[in-house]
Amino acid sequence: MTKEMQFKEIVAQYCDIAPEKMTNDMRFREDLGFSSLDFMAFLGELEDTFDLELEEQEILKVVTIEEALALLDTLDEND
Amino acid sequence: MRDYYELTAAQKMHHQWIVDYKTQQVSGVSVIASLKTELDFGLLKKCIQLEFERYGCMRIRITKPDENGEVKQYIVDRDSRDIPLKDLSGMSMQEADDLMQQWAYETFDGDDIPLCDVSMMKLPDGYNGFFIHMDHRLIDSCGLIVMINDLMQLYTHYRFGSKYPEDLTDFETVLANDLKKANSEKRFAKDKKFWDDQLDALGEPLYSDISGPSVLEEARKRHKNKKLRAADIEMKQLFVAVKDYILEPDATKNLIDFCINHQLSMTNLLLLGIRTYLSKVNNGQEDITIENFISRRSTHSEWTSGGSRTIMFPCRTVITSDTDFLSAAYEIQNMQNRIYMHSNYDPALIMAEMKKRYNTPDYTTYESCYLTYQPMTVKMDNPHVANIPQHSKWFANGAATKKMYLTVSHTAEGGMNFSYHYQTAHLEEHDMELLYYYMMRILFKGIAEPDMTIGEIMDNV
């Protein structure tokens, strides 16, 4: 499974949209219906799954799936 | 072979209250859900019994404490009890509500026993439904709402042929996963660091009482410590009274619109209203802590597995009087977002850390106010009952572990209900009137003029 699909599988646990129907321009709050609590819990799940350390100030700027994936890529490059 | 599990942090919170206050009453949760229509009680009984099979949390048992006082939980395979039918149809609705309120005070006493009662109800004025009385270690209010809706979907499936409800997530699987996460060393270390960092940065919190600084002064005298920053918790007289205030739909809409337009959550706006009031009545105190309850339900599995997932964390902010209203709201939101990220942590450990650092006396606290924002209504969400009048109501368990516990929920008419549960040992209805009145004045002044400073708002209202 690609990292992107793995990421979307996690997103799908928090909303009613199947991973294959997600588009990268979807916004977590407006399009996927994430509450603040959902979003922060989701980030914790990402940290555990991908073994990452997310910077709180950076992640709060994330709005779309694309931005979140880009952030994950950046963190990978820095590893 | 039966599996035994430790309690989750949320369950431990309720369990510890039972131990500390020496009564299970503090952990009771009760609700009536009814419809103004005839019900097939034979069928309803079958559906309730089926719900016991579907919703594993209804079958939780808690063991006798071991020599260290530790308990475990397990889930029995079956609970094929009879479901009684209680007929209150000869009473007025007020009398029926009063009687159900008495039932809500009843306790589940014993180990390894069922901690859940369900009765079918015939109520006055043609209402029929069911009354649920449970222990909070099994379920929270969101879990109860999910259960009520699932039960009605079962009923309408068998009665009207509607779609059979989807399977609920297995409680035991989610429980095991939660405990695994909570015991992850890496996650634990991150969460602990967040909470410890806050104390490192801000030092010891400072108590703020709804009635003003005299309460802390009395505690300082009682403990002969002029520098004490925590006040005593009432441990004996736990009787609670409830005062509800309804905010009209138009005014509610203004608050919601403000939240939407400024990407704020209602919880954070309400926290700002409460903290500004506390600041106002405590001589402009800037360091304020309020306990906020979070229902940790985000994934589909968490929503549909039942269980007790509601847990409280201290929301501490230091906001100076020259901060404008909107910036103050964002400060709270920022803090709450960070708390959400670290909400796997056991809040008892935060208290233990503060006790260790500051050597606070036993049974003292830094908070007088507790908030739950409950966006879900108990109204049954089912197209077959959509046009039928409903009578649904939560009943307080009558024993408050907290000085003042505010639950804010939405009404069917589009307004908001502010339900203040307060310990009568120290507070009166008039205190709640003042709190509600000033909270509203602060909030509406703030949303009308978000550039106004907190200090100006406190002076103006």
Residues B298, A43: C-beta atoms closer than 8 Å: no
Q: Say yes or no to pLDDT of A57 above 80.
A: no
Question: Rounded to whole angstroms, what are the CA distances from B112 to A3, B65, B286, B378, B443?
Answer: 46, 10, 47, 30, 47
Residues B301, A13: C-beta atoms closer than 8 Å: yes
Q: Residue B135's closest CA among B123, B147, B144?
A: B144
**What are the tokens at B338?**
């960070």
How many angstroms separate the CA of residue A16 from the nearest CA in chain B?
Answer: 8
**Model pLDDT for residues B45-92, shown as the tens digit of each residue:** 999 999 999 999 999 999 999 999 999 999 999 998 999 999 999 999
Instruction: Identify the pLDDT of residue B333.
Output: 95
Cα–Cα distance measured from residue B402 to residue B233, given in angstroms and rounded to the nearest whole number: 8
The overall average pLDDT reported for chain A is 88
Tell me which fold the domain A3-78 belongs to: 1.10.1200
Residues of A in contact with B341 (CB under 8 A): 40-41, 43-44, 56
Q: Residue B133's closest CA among B51, B47, B29?
A: B29
The DSSP symbol for B283 reads T
Q: Does A41 touch chain B (CB under 8 A)?
A: yes
Instruction: Identify the pLDDT of residue A78.
Output: 61
User: Helix or strand or coil: residue B253?
Assistant: helix
- For B372, the enclosing helix (H) or strand (E) is strand B369-374
Q: Say yes or no to pLDDT of A79 above 70.
A: no
The pTM (predicted TM-score) of the whole model is: 0.90
Instruction: Identify the pLDDT of residue A34.
Output: 92
Confidence of residue A77 (pLDDT cuts 50, 70, 90): low
Instruction: Identify the pLDDT of residue B401.
Output: 84
Q: Does A19 touch chain B (CB under 8 A)?
A: no
Residues B298, A48: C-beta atoms closer than 8 Å: no
Residues B296, A48: C-beta atoms closer than 8 Å: no
The count of C-alpha atoms lying within 13 angstroms of the C-alpha of B355, restricted to the half-sphere facing its C-beta, is 11
The phi and psi torsions of A49 (rounded to 5 degrees) equal -70, -45
Contact of B307 with A3, CB cutoff 8 Å: no
Instruction: List, for chain B, all residue ranges whose pLDDT scores fall below the cut of 70.
Output: 378
Cα–Cα distance measured from residue B257 to residue A71, given in angstroms and rounded to the nearest whole number: 31
Instruction: Identify the pLDDT of residue A72.
Output: 86
Chain B 127-186, residues with CB within 8 Å of chain A CB atoms? 181, 184, 186
Length of chain A: 79
Residues of A in contact with B296 (CB under 8 A): 37, 41
**Model pLDDT for residues B151-192, shown as the tens digit of each residue:** 999 999 999 999 999 999 999 999 999 999 888 898 899 999
For the packed helices B429-448 and B249-261, what is the interaxial angle rounded to 10 degrees?
50
Contact of B240 with B423, CB cutoff 8 Å: yes
Domain positions in chain A are: 3-78
Quote ipTM for the complex: 0.85
Mean pLDDT computed over A1-21: 91
B53: Cβ contacts below 8 Å, ≥ 6 apart: B78
Residues of B in contact with A47 (CB under 8 A): 190
